[in-house]
Structure formats: structure tokens, C-alpha cells
């Protein structure tokens, strides 16, 4: 059986689909993952994926270009050439599988499953409706199980090994990672607090490594200051995974590297803005201390920019509280 699985959004979302993809891989001869450009680096790290097809969905990408008929036709041709027996469309609670399902029908896929509150007509063979407020990996595992792919015994997040050596970046294991950046500004802990936390962690005897995307070099340099090791823009995703795997704890917001830390089994201090539910999106399967006012006025707004002056849901978290939380997750 050849199965196409789709998760078209960001790095963290693709990582969270990993357990469901492994469930499919256990009973399929080939698994092809259709992902967007923002999730491609994570797709390449997932166990159970035989091949990756990258395509940018204009109804999913946060900064989409115009709808391009030629690009839609190209996707149909690519999927038709794959001769898939089944397709599973993994989506978040606020996304619809139906636009992609239409494209897959045009490509001749004979059986399609997805989670949909909307009437799917003939677009879906399995219209799954999961329980609300379950962790995202469980939500996707439920769709896979409904399609005949039961959950594996190990439902934690995983990535492929072996990972690169981390010591050329960090000098050796045992550090604490602070990751100040997020793809959504409303989910970011203020940079000044991040920098203060680095200083306090160092004063408490921790060796602190600050990580970030190449577009965040100015931020990571500020946060690292004179006491943290600044790795902003210096690592690939696999190298970042190695740095996280050798860490004692990771401090991060609701962003892809928090889920990457979970995928390598490292405890997380999660600075979590309640713009989306923590029950669905908090780090999955590892020791976690969740910080941030989960009843703040921005709760469940899905805001990209904080709608409340002063960003109180996260600015209310002190650097000292984060240092204490690091000790909590390390102590276990």
C-alpha cells in the first residue's frame, strides 16, 4: 500500500505529526509526506517517511502568494504520478482538509481521510471528528487509527538518528538552551527577560547556549550578552537537534524548537502564550514546566501580534521564575 500523508504548515506542526506518520509506516509499503516549505527541514528528519514532496498551500501558509493555477496543476500531476492507494490529511483544529482533498481527488487518489467539521461531500472517504483539546499528536493519531493504522506502542515524538556531533558547537553536553525567537510575535517572551534569564542561569552555575534562526542573529546576540554562547544562525535543524539532545533543559516559547526538544527527549520550560490552547500545543511527552498566564485576555484568540498592551501573559513571568523552573525540570 502506498500512502500519501500531508501536513502543510510549520516545522513544529510537522514534528507533531511524527507519531501518526510512524503508525502509517508500520502498515504501508511506502509513505510520502507532502509538506510546505516552512516544514520541510522537519519532514526530512521524521522516521517512517520514505520521500518528501514540498508544496506551498495558499490556504495554509501565513504569508501566501496569489493562487496559481499552474502550481495547483503541478501538484495534481505529482500526486497522480505517485499512484497512491490512500491519503491522510493532517490539519490543526482551525484548518480545513477540503481544499487539499479536492486536489487529491483530481489527482485520482481513491481513498482520502481527514478531520473536518464542514460537510465534505465526496471529497473525504473518512470524515473524522476527534475529541476536543487533546494534544495535537493524539489528534493525528486518532485520524490514523480511524483509517486503519493503529497507534504504535511508542507515541512520543521522534527524529531520525544518528544526529551530528554537538560538541563542535557547545564544547560538550550538560548545557541549558535558551531559545528566544518565535515565528509568531505574540508567543515571544520579552528579549530583556530572556537576557536576564541567561545571566541568572550562568550565575547559578549553568553553561548557557542561546539558539536561533539565521534571521534572529541580532536577537540571539543580545540575549546571550557576555555570559551565554551565541549559536544564532550557526546550526542546521539536525545540528540544532543535536545541541538540544545534549542539553539538560530547554527554555523556549511555543515554537518549533520546543517540539524539537521534545523529539530528542529533553525537558522543556515552556513560556506559553495562551493565544492557542496549551492542552493541544504544549511540548508533548517530556517533562515540562508551563509558564505564562493561561487565563489572560488573549486566550484562544490565535493572535499573531499581542492584542493586550504590555504583553502581560508572558511579561508577567520573571527571569527568576524561569531559573527555578529549569531546576524543576532538571531535578525531575
Measure the CA–CA gap between 192 and 194, rounded to whole angstroms.
5
Q: Which of 183, 188, 153, 5 is nearest to 91 (CA)?
A: 5
Give me the pLDDT at residue 190, please: 95
Give me the pLDDT at residue 146, please: 96
**DSSP designation for 52:** E
What phi, psi does 78 have (nearest 5°)?
-65, -45
Residue 188 burial (CB < 10 Å; 0-12/13-18/19+)? buried
Measure the CA–CA gap between 35 and 90, rounded to whole angstroms.
10
Largest CA distance in the chain: 62
Name the helix (H) or strand (E) containing 2.
strand 2-7
Beta bridge pairs of residue 114: 89, 127
Q: What is the dotted CATH code of the domain comprising 2-146? A: 3.40.50.2000
Give me the pLDDT at residue 186, please: 87
* Domain range summary for the chain, segments of one domain joined by +: 2-146, 167-331
What pTM was computed for the model? 0.96
Dihedral sign (CA 62, 134, 313, 259): negative
Q: pLDDT by residue for the chain (332 residues), tens digit each?
A: 999 999 999 999 999 999 999 999 999 999 999 999 999 999 999 999 999 999 999 999 999 999 999 999 999 999 999 999 999 999 998 899 999 999 999 999 999 999 998 999 999 999 998 777 899 999 999 999 999 999 999 999 999 999 999 999 999 999 999 999 998 888 999 999 999 999 999 999 999 999 999 999 999 999 999 999 999 999 999 999 999 999 999 999 999 999 999 999 999 999 999 999 999 999 999 999 999 999 989 888 888 888 888 889 899 999 999 999 999 999 97
Cell of 42: 522537519
* Three-class secondary structure of residue 89 per DSSP: strand
Does 167-331 match 2-146 at the fold level? yes
Helix residue ranges per DSSP H, 181-285: 191-203, 217-224, 237-245, 256-263, 278-281
Q: What is the dotted CATH code of the domain comprising 167-331? A: 3.40.50.2000
Amino acid at each position: 500500500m502506498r500512502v500519501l500523508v500531508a501536513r502543510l504548515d510549520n516545522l513544529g506542526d510537522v514534528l507533531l505529526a511524527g507519531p501518526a506518520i510512524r503508525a502509517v509506516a508500520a502498515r504501508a509499503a511506502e509513505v510520502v509526506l507532502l509538506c510546505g516549505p516552512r516544514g520541510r527541514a522537519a519532514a526530512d528528519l521524521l522516521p517512517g517517511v520514505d520521500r518528501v514532496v514540498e508544496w506551498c498551500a495558499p490556504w495554509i501558509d501565513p504569508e501566501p502568494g496569489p493562487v496559481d493555477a499552474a502550481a495547483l496543476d503541478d501538484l495534481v500531476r505529482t500526486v497522480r504520478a505517485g499512484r497512491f492507494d490512500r491519503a491522510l490529511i493532517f490539519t490543526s483544529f482551525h484548518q480545513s482538509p477540503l481544499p487539499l482533498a479536492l486536489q487529491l481527488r483530481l489527482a485520482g487518489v481513491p481513498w482520502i481521510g481527514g478531520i473536518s467539521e464542514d460537510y465534505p461531500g465526496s471529497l473525504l472517504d473518512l470524515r473524522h471528528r476527534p475529541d476536543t483539546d487533546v494534544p495535537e499528536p493524539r489528534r493525528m493519531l486518532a485520524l490514523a487509527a480511524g483509517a486503519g493504522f493503529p497507534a504504535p506502542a511508542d507515541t512520543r515524538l521522534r527524529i531520525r538518528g544518528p544526529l551530528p556531533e554537538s560538541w563542535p558547537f557547545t564544547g560538550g553536553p550538560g548545557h541549558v538552551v535558551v531559545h528566544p525567537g518565535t515565528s509568531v510575535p505574540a508567543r515571544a517572551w520579552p528579549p530583556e527577560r530572556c537576557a536576564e534569564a541567561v545571566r541568572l542561569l550562568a550565575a547559578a552555575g549553568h553553561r548557557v547556549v542561546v539558539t536561533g534562526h539565521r534571521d534572529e542573529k541580532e536577537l540571539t546576540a543580545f540575549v546571550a550578552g557576555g555570559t551565554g554562547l551565541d549559536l544564532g544562525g550557526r546550526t542546521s535543524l539536525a545540528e540544532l537537534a543535536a545541541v538540544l539532545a545534549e542539553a539538560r533543559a530547554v527554555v523556549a516559547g511555543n515554537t518549533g524548537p520546543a517540539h524539537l526538544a521534545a523529539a530528542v527527549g529533553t525537558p522543556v520550560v515552556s513560556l506559553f502564550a495562551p493565544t492557542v490552547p496549551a492542552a493541544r500545543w504544549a511540548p508533548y511527552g517530556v517533562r515540562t514546566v508551563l509558564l505564562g498566564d493561561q487565563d489572560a485576555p488573549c486566550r484562544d484568540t490565535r493572535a499573531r501580534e499581542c492584542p493586550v498592551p504590555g504583553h502581560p501573559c508572558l511579561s508577567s513571568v520573571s527571569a527568576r521564575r524561569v531559573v527555578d523552573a529549569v531546576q524543576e525540570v532538571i531535578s525531575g
